[in-house]
């Protein structure tokens, strides 16, 4: 186990170096931040060069990359060109909002998908199955920005039950503010998970060991919980784990629609403004998080399914 984890961590370093190189190059190939910083003025070429030098963007690219990597190793990703604060500090300051939203969406999705998937599979071909599959299809098909705006229109503008956007002040308002973005983000995920769980359950229900268990006279609930569900959950756990990464990175649209001050919004704004340090810090951090999540998923699978063996 320890050797496996160490090998995976070593491989992760290579991935992180690759990610850092990729983000460094792509950002520099796609526009000049100095132009954007000065876009509201009429700078001369000399003015532009002076600011570029002050921001150390006039140095050769290899030198800039070495500086970036040397800093990154110490956790120093430089200073944001716009915020004038350390880039990693800016990213980390938004992380609680993103994690809060992602976690809430994740819990919402699990609470919705697991019972719906089970009921749908057990009532295969019936009205309830049809209804849950229809809802799942709609959930997958609705773009998040559209669903978010519809929810805002109904629950915030018309009924005024919930706030339109923002994180709210205090615990109660904070929880109320979380509902609409979490539902918006979680719906598509819940739909995916529900469909996957349903098909996994159907496959498991048709297996010989289920027939054997029933023939032995076990109660339906026991068969479901101890035999069917345990086997059906294996692909679900794999996808559910990987979907955490999707939730972290896929919340950009939801963060914009709900004015949620998270990492996704920060990164998108920073890409638009070519705020290199922020983008580099955020991409490396998110890549590291995803690597850790994948590792955790592998370890959980081993615990759940003894047939899975750890190999490099």
Partner 1 sequence: MARTPSGDEQIWVTRLTGAAGPTRRDLLRYGGGVAGLLAFGFPAIKVAAQDGEGPAALVNPEGEAPTEPSGQLTIALAFDPTNLDSAATYTVSNARWEGAVYSPLTFRDPNLVLYDGLDGRPSPADGFGLAESWSYTDDLTLTMKLKEGITFHDGEPLNAATIQAHFTRLQDPELASPQAFNYSTIESVEVVDDYNVIFHFNTVDPVMITKFAGYGAYITPAAGSQVEGFGTETVTGTGPYRVVEYVPDDHLTLEAWDGFWGSQKPLVQRLLYRVIPDDNTRLAELLAGNVDLASINTNQVAPIEGNPDLSIFRIGSPTVSGLRLDATQAPTDNLDVRLAIAHAIDLPTIIDTILGGYATPVPVWQSPFSFGFDDALEPYAYDPDLAAQHLADSGLETPVTLTFDILSGNSQVREFADAVKGFLDAVGFNTEIRIQESATYFDDYRFGNLGNICWFGWGGWTLDYDNTYYSMHKTGESYNPGFSNAEVDDLLVQQRTTLDQAERLDIAKQINAILIAEAPDVALYQSTTLWAVSNRIHNLYIPPDERFWWAGAWVDG
Q: What residue ranges bind partner 1 (CB under 8 A)? A: 30-33, 35-45, 47-48, 50-51, 53-55, 80, 82-85, 90, 93-94, 146, 149-150, 152-153, 156-157, 160, 163-167, 256-259, 261, 265-266, 269, 272-274
Query: What HEC string does 287-302 produce?
Result: HHHHHHHHHHHHHHHH
Give yes or no for a contact between 193 and 237, defined as CB atoms under 8 angstroms apart. Answer: no
Minimum distance, C-beta of residue 290 to partner 1, in the bound complex (Å): 23
Is the CB of 235 or the CB of 261 nearer to partner 1? 261
Beta-bridge partner residues of 79: 86
Q: Which residue has the tokens 């490099």?
A: 312
Is the CB of 4 or the CB of 83 nearer to partner 1? 83
Minimum distance, C-beta of residue 79 to partner 1, in the bound complex (Å): 9
Is the CB of 184 or the CB of 192 nearer to partner 1? 184
Q: What is the dihedral sign for C-alpha 33, 39, 45, 49?
A: negative
**39 backbone dihedrals φ, ψ, rounded to 5°:** -70, -20
* Spatial distance between the Cα atoms of 261 and 195, rounded to a whole number of angstroms: 31
Angle at 82 between CA 79 and CA 86, to 5 degrees: 25
Both tokens of 236, joined, read: 């679900």
Give yes or no for a contact between 138 and 147, defined as CB atoms under 8 angstroms apart. Answer: no
Minimum distance, C-beta of residue 64 to partner 1, in the bound complex (Å): 16
Minimum distance, C-beta of residue 259 to partner 1, in the bound complex (Å): 5
Minimum distance, C-beta of residue 88 to partner 1, in the bound complex (Å): 14
- Listed in sequence order, the residues at least 6 apart from 104 whose beta carbon sits closer than 8 Å to its beta carbon are 178, 181, 182, 186
Is the CB of 70 or the CB of 153 nearer to partner 1? 153
């Amino acid at each position: 186990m320890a050797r496996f984890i160490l090998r995976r961590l070593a491989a992760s370093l290579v991935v992180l170096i690759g990610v850092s190189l990729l983000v460094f190059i792509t950002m520099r190939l796609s526009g000049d931040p100095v132009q954007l910083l000065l876009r509201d003025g009429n700078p001369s070429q000399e003015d532009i060069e002076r600011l570029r030098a002050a921001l150390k963007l006039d140095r050769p690219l290899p030198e800039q990359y070495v500086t970036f990597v040397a800093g990154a190793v110490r956790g120093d990703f430089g200073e944001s060109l716009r915020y004038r604060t350390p880039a990693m500090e800016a990213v980390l300051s938004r992380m609680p909002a993103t994690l809060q939203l992602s976690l809430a969406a994740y819990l919402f999705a699990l609470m919705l998908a697991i019972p719906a998937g089970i009921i749908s599979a057990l009532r295969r071909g019936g009205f309830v199955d049809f209804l849950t599959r229809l809802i799942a299809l709609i959930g997958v098909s609705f773009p998040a920005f559209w669903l978010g705006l519809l929810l805002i229109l109904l629950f915030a503008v018309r009924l005024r039950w919930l706030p339109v956007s923002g994180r709210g002040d205090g615990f109660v308002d904070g929880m109320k503010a979380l509902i609409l973005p979490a539902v918006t983000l979680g719906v598509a995920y819940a739909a995916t998970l529900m469909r996957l769980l349903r098909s996994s359950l159907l496959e498991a229900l048709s297996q010989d060991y289920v027939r054997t268990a029933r023939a032995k006279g076990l109660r339906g609930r026991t068969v479901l919980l101890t035999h069917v569900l345990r086997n059906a959950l294996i692909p679900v756990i794999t996808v559910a784990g990987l979907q955490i990464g999707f939730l972290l990175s896929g919340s950009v649209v939801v963060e914009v629609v709900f004015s949620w001050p998270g990492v996704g919004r920060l990164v998108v704004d920073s890409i638009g403004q070519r705020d290199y340090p922020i983008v580099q810090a955020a991409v490396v951090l998110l890549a590291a998080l995803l690597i850790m999540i994948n590792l955790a998923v592998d370890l959980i699978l081993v615990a759940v399914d003894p047939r899975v063996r750890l190999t490099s």
